[in-house]
Structure 1
Amino acid sequence: MSRDVIVIGAGAGGPVVAKELAAHGLDVLMIEGGPRHAKPEEQWSRLENDSNNPLNGYFRVGPEDRSKPAFYREFPQNGFLWQLSGVGGTTQHYFGNNPRAYPGVFAGYDGPDKSLYDVQHLFPFSYDEFVPYYEWVEQTLPVHTAPMGTKEEIYFRGCETLGIPVQTTKTTLGPSYRPQENAILPPGGQAGRTTDLELLTYPTSSGCTMCGHCFNGCVLPDKSPRNLRAKRSTDNSYVPMALTAEAWSDGGRAVTLITDAMVTKIRTENGEARGVSWIDNATGMVHSEDAAVVVMCGGAIESPRLWFNSGLPNPNDWVGRGFTDHWLDWTFGLMDEDCGSSRGQASGARTDYPGYGMLMNVGLMPALEAFTMTFSDSGIRGQYTNGRGMTGPWDGPTGRLVGPELKDVMQHGLDRILNVISVVDDDVTPDNRVMLSAMPADEAGPVPKVRFLNRGRTPRSTRNREFLARRAVELLRGAGAKKVHRIDWPALPLHVHSTMRMGISDSNSVVDQSGETRAVKRLFIGDNSVLPNSVGGPNPTITTQALATRTSEHIARRYFGIDPWVRDGSSLVVSTDRRISDRLAELDL
């Protein structure tokens, strides 16, 4: 059987491509290496280890059968690669934050701060050209301004001491602070007004119930249709639209979804992609199917791995190179008041510093909060420093908290801790990369090795991180913190980009500005790996999804003669459409 399009991966980008092409009647097959949690209210819990254990949690990179080992990735440096497989990918546990990239990372930018950016690795088109695609995704998810709680109020109290204004537009042009733009449906009815579970049931409640468990996935409001779950991870938004395209789009055609199946090879003929082969994780059976176009959406680790395992050409040696990860860091303050850190949405406020990156407030559950304090590249405070142990405006040297000091902080009270995460505009460098490991292969072939240096970052990346850490301390003290700790995280790649980057020059990029790979025709890429840079520091998901929408247009026009459809920013359908809910119920999805 031959399809029009095969999409590899159902994380942040794949379902976008599938939904957009299926809406115009194309026959789309989407293959995902992990599970589809069709009934998450029965399969998920609020137990932190049950959800987030990287070896056997329901949120891990691995097959559906949790008794089987997780998929192995070699990670030789100090750090922890925090990603998920399964339908929805890492959006299943993301905080829903969807700020646009800074205009300075696009071609043609000529603002006064132009020199602050990684000007050698820009998007190959202008920000103004890209805005309609942002608007399209913002309508589709949809994206709203986050509701405010106690921790956001206190965070903004600190922002008021920084000497920067409140931002009131979606485009960020200078240092500023604002509520997050996030893909979480706002509270409606009794949601956000009560903790009574009987009242937090659809339709008495709609949207976010402010439960504080964003990192464990979203199943609320209870009894709501899947496409009306509060957090707009792709398993709650784009996937329901893709699976029901025939119900809401004139001429639309429902996507076929295969899960728990690892694609092992992209098959080519005469320099063009012709189809894929995949292995069923449960049975070990191998299958193949042909297609007119193949779109890689496996993510910044699996896409280069699959390229190498497929034996595809790499003429400029940039496949897998340019790994960026926002080089995250963690700073927190101890407060004399209840900050409500464990309540409400995980991250409702941010501070932007274009050219450097951004700061966000984050509220977590107890085990994850303890994890953030014990994860450091500076060793243990007061014991050893790993050669770092940096001093600054924070209290004492950097380093992880253990023993009595950690107990004292946790006994101070989870809700009296105010957290700030630094999200760095990290430089694209060719030596930070994904390659094939010499470790034993798994069923899908040689496994990926993720190699990058935590301390070998560029001077600009280091400058950005130190700048943001100092602004975080200033913010926390302005908010009233009595004591401020900086942890100095090692690599924690939650935001991973650029390993199959789109670029202006064919000397240092894998795909052209349409999203088609330079070395293989009819092969496109629509995941975070295609981002040309680290988008200036903002969370990358909406930029990936806007770029996937744009790539879908190029596929439709170039290979299927379909006119482009993103013109005025008004989406074909938003994910809250009742027709989608009704069709999902009919299909028991």
Structure 2
Amino acid sequence: MSPFRRERASDSDVLVIGSGAGGSVVARELAAAGLRVTVLEEGPRVSTDHIAAATPAENMRRLYRQGGLTPVFGTPTLAYGEGRCVGGTTVVNGGLLWEPPPALLGRWAAESGVAGYRAADLAPHLALVTRRLGVAAQQHGAGNHDSRLLAAGAERLGRRWQYAHRAVLGCRHSNRCTTGCPTGAKQSMAVSYLPEAEALGARILPGTRVLRILHQDGAATGVVAAGPGGRTAVHRAREVFLAAGPLQTPALLQRSRIHRRTAGRELSLHVNLRTVARFDEPVHADRGTIFTAQVHEFGGDGVLMMPSNVTRGTLAAALASRPPQLLDRLLAAFATLGSYTTQVRLQGKARILATPRGGLLLRHGMTSADHSRLREAFRRTGEVLFAAGARELLPPVASARPLHSRAEAEEFCRRVRPGDWELVSVHGMASARMGLPERGGICDEHGRPHGFRRLRVCDASVLPGVTGISPQGTVMAFAHEIAERFLSTAPGRP
């Protein structure tokens, strides 16, 4: 007898693997249709009260996979951060929720050969998400002087900026978005779609890691999973929805021998450059809200600029590789510092390889064009921040000295080497992308891996390409469409 048949854990109409932006949408919509839904989540369930009572460092360890430090090897090696908890990365992101540009969706449709995901098709889903999550332009709070400075610098140069669109209800400006909202104001899936799904009858099983998807004759039949105590069990279902995230979804497909040579072969990434700016005036960036202003002037080139509110602890961690004297000086001037993130869309792809015992090996292949784009992105960031009144910039390069003028920033950009950058990424996409097989697609227009039945992918993995904006809104819209298509064709639906 197979060791995986030691225990029969549950039978459901639908199993959802993962509880982030994609999985939560499917769980809520299918439960509302009267189906028996079970959500399997590898991470813990952490309440708002527990988030509020813990320190940011404790929440980093609890809410992120590997504390937010999954390495992606290459030149340079970068750190990838993803949530690992009930609610997924929506619990630890900035709450940004942008609608995908119609031109982007049109290009995806043309390149992938897949119909039904253009702007007109997704508009009803995006309107529903906006209404449910209270998405609105986030005005500056009392402590958002770093955002005001960024906006002022952009205006002086004639650069286009706008208030960020965020899924927040009653933000109290706690400056802890990326380690879990301590008030519940940010409308993560943990406080929105998932409680609604449970009220409609869905079950959520935290601490349950799916080891592989079971399938026979091209049809998924369930999964093998390890529960909180390490006991291995089989969960059976009529349909399996895979939403484990852009890294774990293709890894699980590989381990399940489903498109194992192509799933995860082309992961698209945004990377973030972090620049610390010192001003003459008090900024008090620790008192505000993340991302209330974004410079969109260069969005067509895949570059966005935004403030990333900072604490003494996060500043010290970010600058740990700098000389102690510099760190001491900056901490002494903490009230005048702002921290700014420049998001850059990469052209080169990363590759995911599932290793034994549940590990991952990730390697990116940045192109020379990507390295040029990083230099240009930092140069433009420097222009805006110096126009905003910055007296000193510290670029995201451990060996770089502080910069005091646009001329020094230009010289830095001429000299910086590809391996010098300190980069992080929190946005991965298209690692099991939707598209025709002859165009490199892994999944069809229903989210089904080509050649397989009763299995659908519904997270950022299935997007046909890289968004250039925060992908949560796009992921949720695609998940709504995939769920709707399933319900319109599901046999024996209640």
**Shorter-chain TM-score tier:** 0.7 to 0.9
Quote the residue 1:484 is aligned against.
393
Are the aligned partners of 1:88 and 1:234 in contact in 2 as well (CA < 8 Å)?
yes
Distance apart, 1:428 and its partner CA: 5.5
Cα distance, 1:418 vs structure 2? 2.2
3-state SS of paired residue (1:328): strand
Compared with structure 1, are the counterparts of its residues 233 and 520 closer, same or farther at alpha carbon in structure 2 (3 Å cutoff)? same
d(CA) in 2 for partners of 1:163, 1:75? 36
Structure 1's 404 and 74: CA in aligned 2 closer, same or farther, altered over 3 A? closer
Q: Find out whether 1:544 has 2:490 as its counterpart.
A: no
CA distance in structure 2 between the partners assigned to 1:423 and 1:99 by the alignment: 15
Give the drift of 1:463: 4.0
Equivalent position SS for 2:489:
helix
Residue 465 of structure 1: CA displacement?
A: 2.7
Question: Does the 8 Å CA contact 1:427/1:533 hold for their aligned counterparts?
Answer: no
Matched, 1:449 2:361: yes
- Please say if 1:433 is aligned against 2:351: yes
CA contact (8 A) 2:396 2:422 kept: no
Aligned pairs for 1:264-343 within 5 A? 264-282=211-229, 284-314=230-260, 317-343=261-287
Cα distance change of structure 1 residues 451 and 355 upon mapping to structure 2, 3 Å threshold: same
Structure 1 residues 467, 102: closer, same or farther in 2, change over 3 A?
farther
CA distance in 1, matches of 2:78, 2:299: 26
1:73/1:483 CA distance change after superposition, 3 Å = closer
How far apart are 1:10 and its partner, in Å?
Answer: 1.0
CA distance 1:123–1:540, change in 2 (3 Å) = farther
SS in 2 for 1:287: strand
Answer whether contact 2:147 2:306 (CA < 8 A) is retained. Answer: no
CA displacement at 1:128 relative to structure 2: 3.4
What amino acid sits opposite 1:476 in the alignment?
L
- In the alignment, which of 425, 447, 454 is matched to residue 522 of structure 1? 454
Q: Secondary structure at the match of 2:96?
A: coil
2:155 equivalent to 1:155: no
The Cα shift of 1:214 comes to 1.8
| C-alpha distance in structure 2 between counterparts of 1:106 and 1:71, whole Å | 30
Measured in 2, the distance between the counterparts of 1:213 and 1:9 equals 24
Residues 318 and 509 of structure 1 are in contact (CA less than 8 Å); yes or no, is this contact kept in structure 2?
Answer: no
Query: Does the alignment pair 1:21 with 2:30?
Result: yes
Q: CA deviation at 1:452?
A: 1.4
The answer to whether the 8 A contact 1:267-1:275 is kept is: yes
Q: Structure 2 residue aligned with 1:234, among 176, 189, 194?
A: 189
Deviation, 1:468, is 2.2
Structure 1: give runs of 5+ residues left out of the alignment.
63-69, 111-118, 165-175, 186-206, 221-228, 246-253, 375-399, 564-589
Structure 2 counterpart of 1:406, one-letter code = L
Identify, as 1 or 2, the structure richer in strand.
2
- Match in the other structure for 2:406: none
Deviation at 1:341, TM superposition (A): 0.7
Mapped to 2, the partners of 1:133 and 1:44 lie a distance apart of: 32
- Decide which structure has greater helix share: 2
Q: What is the deviation of 1:505?
A: 4.8
Does the CA-based 8 Å contact 1:299-1:529 persist in structure 2? Answer: yes
CA displacement 1:33-85 (0-9 Å, x = unmatched):
11111x34136545232222xxxx222327xxxxxxx8996754423222221
Aligned identity (percent) is: 24
The change in CA–CA distance for 1:459 and 1:557 in structure 2 (over 3 A counts) is farther
How far apart are residue 281 of structure 1 and its match?
A: 3.0
| Alpha-carbon distance in structure 2 between the residues aligned to 1:460 and 1:23 | 47
Between the aligned partners of 1:306 and 1:109, the Cα distance in structure 2 is 25
- The 5-angstrom pairing of residues 88-237 of structure 1 reads 88-108=87-107, 125-148=117-140, 149-164=144-159, 176-185=160-169, 207-220=170-183, 229-237=184-192
Alignment counterpart, residue 50 of structure 2, candidates 38, 42, 59? 42
1:296 deviates by: 0.5
User: Is the 1:356–1:468 Cα contact (8 Å) retained in structure 2?
Assistant: no
Query: Cα offset for 1:555?
Result: 1.2
How far apart, CA to CA, are the structure 1 residues paired with 2:390 and 2:68?
Answer: 42
Match of 1:60? Answer: 64
Q: Is the 8 A contact 2:114 2:444 kept in 1?
A: no
One-letter amino acid matched to 1:49:
A
Whether contact under 8 Å (1:178, 1:350) holds in the other structure is yes
Give the Cα–Cα distance (whole angstroms) in 2 for the partners of residues 499 and 273 of structure 1.
20
Paired amino acid for 1:210: H
Instruction: Note closer, same or farther for the CA distance 1:80–1:313 as it changes in structure 2 (3 Å cut).
Output: closer
* Alpha-carbon distance in structure 1 between the residues aligned to 2:90 and 2:107: 31
How has the CA–CA distance of structure 1 residues 33 and 554 changed in structure 2, closer, same or farther, with 3 Å as cutoff? same
Counterparts of 1:142 and 1:562 in 2: how far apart (Å)? 31
User: By how many angstroms is 1:292 displaced?
Assistant: 1.7
Q: Distance in 1 between matches of 2:216 and 2:330?
A: 61
Q: Taking structure 1 as reference, are residues 458 and 561 closer, same or farther at Cα in structure 2, changes over 3 Å only? A: farther
1:198 matched to which residue of 2? none
Distance 1:72 1:144 in 2: 31
Give the aligned residue type for 1:423. Answer: Q
Encode CA deviations 1:388-430: one digit per residue, 9 max, x unaligned: xxxxxxxxxxxx63321222122111x312222111122263x
1:536-567 per-position Cα deviation (integer Å, ceiling 9, x unaligned): x211111111111111111111224779xxxx
1:256 matched to 2:265? The reply is no
Q: Give, in angstroms, the shift of residue 138 of structure 1.
A: 1.1
d(CA) in 2 for partners of 1:363, 1:71: 18
Q: Which amino acid aligns with 2:102?
A: P
Which residue identity is paired with 1:330?
R
Q: Distance in 2 between matches of 1:132 and 1:402?
A: 53
Measured in 1, the distance between the counterparts of 2:441 and 2:276 equals 38
Q: CA deviation at 1:532?
A: 1.9
- Give the one of 317, 331, 334 matched to 1:410: 331
Q: Unaligned stretches of 5+ in structure 2?
A: 1-9, 398-420
**Residue identity opposite 2:370 in structure 1:** S
User: Given that residues 362 and 419 in structure 1 are in contact (C-alpha distance below 8 angstroms), is that contact kept between their aligned partners in structure 2?
Assistant: yes
Match for 2:449: what amino acid? Answer: T
Q: Which amino acid aligns with 1:91?
A: T
Work out whether residues 313 and 519 of structure 1, in 8 Å CA contact, stay in contact via their aligned partners in 2: no
Seen in structure 2, the aligned counterparts of structure 1 residues 372 and 532 have a Cα distance that, compared at 3 Å, is: farther
Residue 121 of structure 1: CA displacement? 6.7
1:297 CA drift (Å)? 0.6
Q: Is the 8 A contact 2:147 2:307 kept in 1?
A: yes
Are 1:371 and 2:371 counterparts? no
2:380 alignment partner AA: R
Pair 1:509-2:427 in alignment:
no
CA contact (8 A) 1:434 1:450 kept: yes
The CA distance in 1 between the partners of 2:319 and 2:488, in whole Å, is: 50
Task: Give the number of aligned pairs.
Answer: 454
Q: For residues 148-184 of structure 1, give each alpha carbon's deviation from its aligned partner in whole angstroms, at most 9, with x where no partner exists.
A: 03222222111102323xxxxxxxxxxx310100011
